[in-house]
Copies of this chain bind each other. A is one copy, B any other.
Amino acid sequence: MKNNVKIARIQVDLTQQQLAEKIGVTRQTISLIEKGKYNPTLKLCLSICDVVQKSLDELFWVDKEERTK
């Protein structure tokens, strides 16, 4: 699953650490999400949206090929 978290984070001039702290999650979690290595919770996605000031649709999507669950 693809996402624009890294780009959006940099646009608001935050490090992974800073974003993580604002959200109340660890830096590793942010790193893994940016790398597409796992499948975050909706609440976490919404928190990220809130901090980086983007909508869900702007940040997260799946390529058609990989649509399963």
Residues of A within 8 A of B (CB): 1, 23-25, 39-47, 50, 55-57, 60-62, 67-69
Number of copies: 2
Residue among A24, A25, A57 with the most chain B CB within 10 A? A57
CA–CA, A43 and B9, complex, Å:
21
Interface of A is mostly: mixed
Q: Contacting A41 at CB < 8 Å: which of B25, B42, B50?
A: B42
Q: A56-B60, A57-B57 are in contact. Are A69 and B43 (CB under 8 A)?
A: yes
Cα–Cα, bound, A67→B51 (Å):
11
Chain B residue nearest to A50 (CB atoms) is B67
**B42→A60 contact, CB < 8 A:** yes
